[in-house]
């Protein structure tokens, strides 16, 4: 289950189907992917399962500028879901020789946080480095988390990963010298108490949008929701 990249149009087919209203703009790109579950139920993983789980919860796509015929954003994001966190802790514990008690404490902390926050590990590269820094006020990109009804939530925290650790580079292999890395956090509940991703939502979308275009990374969710 490799993360799928769905370009807006191939280099040789740009003129065939482009809607007139999108000429000169960055256009929407999304991924076709398997249906996943946010259900907070026990999982049974071994350390070898991490790569499969990582691929299942990782998306990548590009925004494309037809006006200048240049790629303007390359972005990959891993949804640090309940399932991804469980697999991560099992792999991390084995790699670092943690005791059962240490592993269980780490797992409990991660799963408790998963009830409070939807987190994403993001790496991206844009045409201009300064504009690609999501923590910079001059960034060209605003990030939103949307449910299947289009309700949008802004991050409660964006952390730039200036010095990735060996663990970061191993477990999030899209980290590289030509990409910036970030940790994004969204509250699981809005101030009015409603869920950011309701129990019955069928889709979670991480949207990067701005004057240079829009790119959507999409996770199709099962009817099990987030119960």
Each residue of 69-82: pLDDT tens digit? Answer: 567 889 999 999 99
Q: What does DSSP assign to residue 2?
A: P
User: Residues near 152 by Cβ (< 8 Å), separated by ≥ 6?
Assistant: 144, 145, 146, 207
pLDDT(173) > 90: yes
pLDDT(11) > 80: no
| 188 within domain boundaries | yes
| 12 within domain boundaries | no
| 8 within domain boundaries | no
Average pLDDT of the chain, as a whole number: 84
Which domain covers residue 136, as residue numbers?
A: 19-220
Distance of CA 20 to the CA centre of its chain: 30
| 11 within domain boundaries | no
| 193 within domain boundaries | yes
Number of separate domains in the chain: 1
| 226 within domain boundaries | no
Specify the pTM.
Answer: 0.82
Burial class (CB in 10 A: 0-12, 13-18, 19+), 51: middle
| 181 within domain boundaries | yes
| 4 within domain boundaries | no
Greater confidence (50 vs 9) lies with 50
Q: Tell me how crowded residue 35 is: count the other CB atoms within 10 A of its CB.
A: 12
What is the percentage of the chain residues whose pLDDT exceeds 70?
80
């Amino acid at each position: 289950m490799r993360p799928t990249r769905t370009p807006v149009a191939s280099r040789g087919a740009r003129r065939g189907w482009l809607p007139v209203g999108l000429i000169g703009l960055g256009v929407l790109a999304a991924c076709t992917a398997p249906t996943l579950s946010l259900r907070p139920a026990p999982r049974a993983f071994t350390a070898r399962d991490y790569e499969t789980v990582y691929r299942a919860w990782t998306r990548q796509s590009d925004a494309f500028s037809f006006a200048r015929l240049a790629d303007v954003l390359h972005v990959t994001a891993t949804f640090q879901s309940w399932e991804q966190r469980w697999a991560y802790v099992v792999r991390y514990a084995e790699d670092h020789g943690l005791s059962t008690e240490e592993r269980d404490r780490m797992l409990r902390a991660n799963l408790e946080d998963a009830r409070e926050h939807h987190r994403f590990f993001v790496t991206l590269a844009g045409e201009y480095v300064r504009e690609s820094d999501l923590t910079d006020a001059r960034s060209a990109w605003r990030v939103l988390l949307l449910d299947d009804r289009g309700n949008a939530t802004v991050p409660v925290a964006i952390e730039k990963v200036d010095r990735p650790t060996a663990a970061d580079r191993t477990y999030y292999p899209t980290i590289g010298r030509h990409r910036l890395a970030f940790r994004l956090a969204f509250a699981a509940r809005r101030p009015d108490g409603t869920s950011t991703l309701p129990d019955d939502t069928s889709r979670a979308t991480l949207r990067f949008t701005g004057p240079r275009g829009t790119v959507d990374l999409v996770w199709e969710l099962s009817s099990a929701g987030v119960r």
